[in-house]
Structure 1
Amino acid sequence: MQIDKIRGEQTNQLFKAMLELKDLDECYEFFDDLCTISEIQSLGQRLEVAQMLKLKNTYDTIQHETGASTATISRIRRCVDYGSGGYNKILGRLYPEIKEVVDKK
C-alpha cells in the first residue's frame, strides 16, 4: 500500500501538527513557514484538479482552467480512481454536493 511508503516519525509529526491547526489563518501561517509559495500552489492545484475530475470535466478543460499538465492530471486521476481514498474523502467533506452533481451527469 502506498501509505506505508510515507509512514514514519517525521510524517507523523507533520500530520499531527496539521491536525492542531485551528483555522484558515493558522493554516496560512504554518504553510507559509513550511512550504514555498510554489509548493503550496501545487498542492492547491492538485486538489482543484481532483475536484474537477470528480465533476467529470475533460482533461482539456482542467488543463486550461488550472494550468496543470496532462501528466499531473493523469496521476491525480489514478489517485482519485484507485488511490487510498484521500481525495474522495476530503472532497466529499468539503463539497457534499459533488456526489449529487456527479450522480446527475
Structure 2
Amino acid sequence: MQIDKIRGHQTDQLFKAILELKDLDECYHFFDDLCTISEMQSLSQRLEVAQMLKLKKTYDTIQSETGASTATISRIRRCVDYGSGGYDKVLNRLYPETGEES
C-alpha cells in the first residue's frame, strides 16, 4: 500500500499538527510557515484538479482553468481513480452535493 511509504514519526507529527488547526486563519499561518508559496500553489492546484476531474471536466478545460500540465492532471487522475481514496473523502466532505462521503 502506498500509504506505508509515507507513514512514520515525522509524518504522524505533521498530520497531528494539521488536525490541531482550528480555523482557516490558523491554517494560513501554519502553512505560510511550513510551505513555500510554490508548494502551496502546487498543493492547492492538485486539489482543484481532482475536484474538476470528479466533475468530469476535460483535460483542456482543467489545463486552461488551473494551469496544470497534462502530466499533472494524468497523475491526479490515477490517484482519483486508483489511489487511497483521500481525494474522494475530502472532496465529498467539502462538496457533499457532488457525491457521497465514503
Give the shorter-chain TM-score range.
over 0.9
Q: Following the alignment from structure 1 to structure 2, what is the Cα–Cα distance between the partners of residues 16 and 92?
A: 22
Query: 1:70 and 2:70 equivalent?
Result: yes
Cross-structure match for 2:37: 37
Cross-structure match for 1:28: 28
Q: Following the alignment from structure 1 to structure 2, what is the Cα–Cα distance between the partners of residues 62 and 98?
A: 17
Query: 1:82 and 2:86 equivalent?
Result: no
Q: Post-superposition shift, 1:99?
A: 2.0
Aligned length: 100
Residue segments in structure 2 that go unaligned for 5+ positions in a row: none
Q: Post-superposition shift, 1:93?
A: 0.1
Cross-structure match for 1:50: 50
Residue segments in structure 1 that go unaligned for 5+ positions in a row: 101-105
Cross-structure match for 2:91: 91
Higher RCO (CA-CA < 8 Å; seq separation 6+): 1
**Where do 1:6-21 residues align within 5 Å?**
6-21=6-21
RMSD of aligned residue pairs (Cα, Å): 0.9
Q: Following the alignment from structure 2 to structure 1, what is the Cα–Cα distance between the partners of residues 19 and 2?
A: 21
1:26-55 deviations in whole A, cap 9, x for unaligned? 000000000001100110000000000000
Runs (4 or more) in structure 1 with deviation over 6 Å come to: none
TM-score normalised by length of structure 1: 0.94
